[in-house]
Amino acid sequence: MLQVYLVRHGETLWNAARRIQGQSDSALTAKGEQQARQVGERMKHLGITHVIASDLGRTKRTAEIIADACGCDVTLDPRLRELNMGVLEQRPLDSLTPEEESWRTALING
């Protein structure tokens, strides 16, 4: 039976700064790298044979750390990229107007 595990990327510089990322990229923090290592340690005994991630740096790095722990390769697929947040990308969350916040929420929730 096929089992699929979904993992979010580790903490990034912009996560820590509470900035909107979308498809703009931000590197993992030391904490984010550690989070990925912890996930890899937990997953290495699950028999994982493939790791697939978006081509954004933060997800690629998280996937590489996990794949290394599991002894497999990473396949990058741009179709897995985060939602494009347009003009909101790179903005601090606390700088959004009420209208922009409702737009962001609508984009996330569909």
Q: Which of 11, 41, 45, 82 is catalytic?
A: 82
Encoding tokens for residue 22?
A: 């979308």
Q: What is the CATH number of the domain that holds 31?
A: 3.40.50.1240
Inside any domain, residue 3:
no
Separation CA 82–CA 102 (nearest Å)? 18
From residue 34, give the alpha-carbon distance in Å to each of 38, 78, 92, 95, 97. Answer: 6, 24, 24, 29, 34
Residue 89: active-site member? no
Q: Which domain holds residue 81?
A: 13-109
pTM for the whole structure: 0.89
pLDDT at residue 8, as a whole number: 96
Higher pLDDT, 58 or 88: 58
Please tell me which residue in 9, 33, 45, 99 is annotated as part of the active site.
9
Confidence band, pLDDT 50/70/90 cuts, at residue 95: very high
In a domain, 1, yes or no: no
9 is catalytic: yes
The string of pLDDT tens digits covering residues 30-56 is 999 999 999 999 999 999 999 999 999
Asked whether residue 60 is domain-assigned, the answer is yes
pLDDT of residue 100: 86
At 109 the pLDDT is 80
Give CA separation, 63 vs 3, 32, 70, 75, 108, in Å.
17, 12, 10, 9, 23
Q: In Å, how far are 8, 9, 20, 110 from 15, measured between CA atoms?
A: 12, 11, 8, 22
Q: How confident is the model at residue 101 (pLDDT cuts 50, 70, 90)?
A: confident
Number of domains in the chain: 1
| 84 located within any domain | yes
